[in-house]
Structure 1
Amino acid sequence: MATSGRTASEDAPTASDIAATLRDADFVRIVAYPSGDALAASGILARSCATTGIPFQVSATRFPAQRAESHDDEVVMTVGAPGGDVALPEHPEHPASLSAFEAGEELGGAPDPVLALAGVVAGGTTPGASDVSDAPGCARLLEVASDRLTRRPGASTPTEDLADGLAHSTLIHAGFSGNPGAVQAELAEIGLPVELDDDAHRRVASLVALSVTGPESATPRAGETVENALRPYELENGPFATLGGYADVLDAVAREQSGMGIALALGYDARAPALDAWREHAKKAHTVLHEATTGRYDGLFVARTDDAPVETAVRLLGNFRSPEPIALVVTDDEAAAVAVSDTEVTGLDMAMETAATELGGDGTGSARRGYARFDADAKEFLSAFREAL
């Protein structure tokens, strides 16, 4: 399996570097990878440009480097991927949204700390957790946004409707995932009051935790990952009910309808269509884990399916079902892979690029995440990917 490769922190610019580059630009073209963290970071940078009078354009693509060529009168910034005049890569210990917030402050753009926190959560970091590697940066975001956040027991959902929120959450995977009716039946068993108090929220949290970790197919990592969906921060005057719910919708919409995700990150009122896209995206992703054909190889757990939002599906597979250090979801023209965070596996971007190129396609990603498009069937890609590892 791959044990080396480009690291996310290589050549990562500082906040001052980013601000200086943007400040001197006649026009800024921001090209983002379609993930919640990258789009939140792009929205923060774009709003900072708008505040300081710098013309800009934002777009999203899974292959930002292919759009990174700049002209004499513009600066191209890639977010969540390498390339461009300046790149803000993914990093598990310092999410792009946090770097963008710091750069926005340097630029004088009064960036939104709640949007930054939503991006941080979408990137896999839990603000306020005792083991957050970059505690000073995340802690400062929480402090700046404290008047808009209230922590309580319970589970993170974007809506007040628990059946809707838990069924379509991609922060968890359980037997009821994708099925609001099944969630409603589970909630009826714990006898919740009409007005939820702290005790009721704690019962919901216990239900979620047991539902996620109870199945025989659940992995030890599931118990750790579900913690990220519990004890939510309620949002005051936010677009969604909780911070985790905001992150969940932002990431799903980034992958399902990136144009809408950009609008959401730029602050436009896209709540209703974004929730619709989130629900549809979640149903498809959870279906993969419920129904896909799986296979276990040395160091690799694979789910093969006809059609899927492969990036979200593989994140869920890696977090809740994979007994191996690498998880892969593959269709007949797309694939995505993730490395479980407590392993030393890296270089998935290189493995994806190698395998996809062999089959006439393209691959991209980071050291611990990969995505590919190709012109072959799933079996051929699986063989090429295993060889590339």
Structure 2
Amino acid sequence: MATEGRSVESASAPVSETLESAGFVQLLARADGDALAASGLLARALVDRDTPFQVSVGRTVTARTERAHAREPAADDVTVAIGAIDADVTRLDVTDRPATLAALDCVRDLGSTPDPVLALAGLVAADIAPGAGESEWVLETAKDRGLVARRPGVAVPTADPVDGIAHSTRLLGPWSGDIDATREALAGLDIAVDDPEALEADDHRTIGSAVALDVVGAEEAPATAAETVQRALHPYTTPEHAVETVGGYADVLEATARLEPGTGAALAMGHAAHEPALAAWREYGRRAHTALEEASTSRYNGLFVVEIDDGPVEAVGRLAAAFRSPEPVVLVVSDTDGGTGEAALVTQHDDALGATVERIARALGDERNVNAEYDIGHRRGYLRYDTIEEPSTIVETVRELL
């Protein structure tokens, strides 16, 4: 079983110094939007230096570790992990800071100019508001270069608000996952939603207000829903980018990192991959909302359990934690095809889950004789394991160790 602290932390030596002399770089990224953005920032800097590289996205700590060990490196080869790994390689990020911020430091040290729109999207994926804290200079750079502009409305990746709102995994309303229901809801606003280019600021403001009311007005919506929906309103648009807003870009990075990582990596590296990326995002959003709509739920002290037949467990967990859970921690459990199961833990607050998720994976192996792999990220944990007879096995193990 892998442990989080065995890789070489970036604090031990600047990653930029390691990359300066590299003949080839293998980037091993965690499967989320923050890590994907970080890999794209580093990859673009390596292109500037004419340094050959390869980007791989690993779904679990074990998967990244195996990829690190699979190659016979040359003397000047370097492997950089973005996420926990059980291998003696350079680690870009640390657990209490977004990988995107670490990548920005590295890229600037290498003398390259990072793409501020990609960086902002990675930070939003890590739950950092654009311009907050260390990212203030990133937002100001993007604004000074005319790469972002604020407007009313909703942070979605498409100019078409019907398409964007229906498939967003940053929103949850009665129309989520259903494009016809979304069109019908917006049609009642007396706005020409079928002609996105004709939409003016007041139209976007009306759409944003209607969406927010639907989200927070749901009978099951907890207090966290109002705070979360605010992050998806009044977005930064990206006039020069194929994806419509920074928040929408973050949503696409999250979706592709888990559903089609090769497409997501290509998008983050600046290739013309936005159409297949948007297609993956639509599928990801549709599946997440369908799974949550059809889920069965149960509530324990401090834990809200969501059982689904199939679907992206982390997206379902994030939606449930933000918009449905009366408890601070959400557990999503899914049995998938092919003899494996998946689970996700998501917290409503900035609680560290890394050690807990690793203990759960160990307990499944040691006490339940279940082969389990795991991964951790900001406010979330992921488990993939051999199918077990009863989902209650996962629930009981989590309750014991949470």
Aligned with residue 138 of structure 1, among 129, 135, 139: 135
Give the letter for the 2:395 counterpart.
L
Matched, 1:324 2:327: yes
Q: TM-score by structure 2 length?
A: 0.88
AA aligned opposite 2:398: F
Among 56, 81, 106, the residue aligned to 2:109: 106
Give the whole-Å Cα distance in 2 for the aligned partners of 1:13 and 1:345: 21
1:86 maps to: 90
Matched-pair contact (CA < 8 Å) for 2:26–2:80: yes
Residue in 2 that maps onto 1:181: 180
Paired letter, 1:381? I
Q: Deviations over 1:158-204 (max 9, x none)?
A: 11111111000111111110011111111111112562222221111
| Contact persistence 2:168–2:251 (CA under 8 A) | yes
Give, in whole Å, the separation in 2 of the partners of 1:81 and 1:121. 20
Partner of 1:296: 299
Distance 1:21 1:211 in 2: 50
**Unpaired segments of 5 or more residues in structure 1?**
none
1:272-297 Cα offsets, whole Å, 9 max, x none, are 11111111110111112211000111
In the alignment, the residues of structure 1 paired with residue 86 and residue 119 of structure 2 have an alpha-carbon distance, to the nearest angstrom, of: 22
Residues 333-358 of structure 1: CA distance to partner in whole angstroms, max 9, x if unpaired?
11111111156776343244224434
Residues 367 and 150 of structure 1: is their aligned pair in 2 closer, same or farther, counting only changes over 3 Å?
A: closer
Which residue identity does 1:330 align to in structure 2? V
Q: Which residue of 2 aligns with 1:271?
A: 274
Secondary structure at the counterpart of residue 330 of structure 1: strand
Partner of 2:222: 219
Which runs of structure 2 are paired with 1:228-239 in the superposition (5 Å)? 228-239=231-242
Aligned mates of 1:163, 1:15 — CA distance in 2: 48
- Contact 1:46–1:56 (Cα < 8 Å) also in 2: yes
Report the CA distance shift for 1:43/1:334 in structure 2 as closer, same or farther (over 3 A).
same
The verdict on how the C-alpha distance between 1:227 and 1:233 changes in structure 2, with shifts beyond 3 A counting, is same
Q: 1:1-389, aligned counterparts within 5 Å? A: 12-13=9-10, 17-63=14-60, 64-69=64-69, 71-73=73-75, 74-84=77-87, 85-89=89-93, 91=95, 94-128=97-131, 132=132, 135=133, 137-146=134-143, 147-193=146-192, 195-332=198-335, 333-341=341-349, 347-358=355-366, 359-366=370-377, 368-375=379-386, 376-377=388-389, 378-389=391-402
- Could you report, residue by residue, the CA deviation over 1:123-160 in whole angstroms, capped at 9, with x for unpaired residues? 111114xxx4xx1x211101111121110111111111
Distance, in Å, in 2 between the alignment partners of 1:355 and 1:125 is 33
Q: Which amino acid aligns with 2:185?
A: E
What number of residue pairs does the alignment pair up? 376
Instruction: For 1:49, give the aligned amino acid.
Output: L
Relative distance call for 1:211 and 1:316 in structure 2 (3 A) is same
* Contact residue 338 and residue 348 of structure 1 kept, 8 A: no
Equivalent position amino acid for 1:299 in 2: G
Considering only aligned residues, what root-mean-square deviation do their CA atoms show, in Å?
2.2
Structure 2 residue matching 1:302: 3-state secondary structure: strand
**Contact 2:292/2:316 (<8 A) preserved:** yes
Structure 1: which amino acid aligns with 2:81?
T
Return closer, same or farther for 1:317/1:46 CA change in 2, 3 Å cut-off: same
The alpha carbon displacement at 1:215 in A equals 0.9
Mapped to 1, the partners of 2:12 and 2:152 lie a distance apart of: 35
1:351–1:385 Cα contact (<8 Å) kept: no
1:30-51 superposed Cα distances (whole Å, 9 cap, x missing partner) = 1011111111100111111121
Identity of aligned residues (%): 42
Q: Is 1:82–1:88's contact at 8 Å kept on the other side of the alignment?
A: no
Give a deviation string over 1:192-250, Cα, whole Å, max 9, x none.
25622222211111111111111111110011011111011110210211111111111
Unaligned runs of 5+ in 2: 336-340
Q: Distance in 2 between matches of 1:12 and 1:139?
A: 25
Single out whichever of 68-77 and 322-331 deviates more from structure 2. 68-77
Q: Taking structure 1 as reference, are residues 138 and 273 closer, same or farther at Cα in structure 2, changes over 3 Å only? A: same
TM-score (norm 1): 0.90
Once the 2 structures are TM-superposed, how far is the Cα of residue 384 of structure 1 from its aligned partner? 2.1
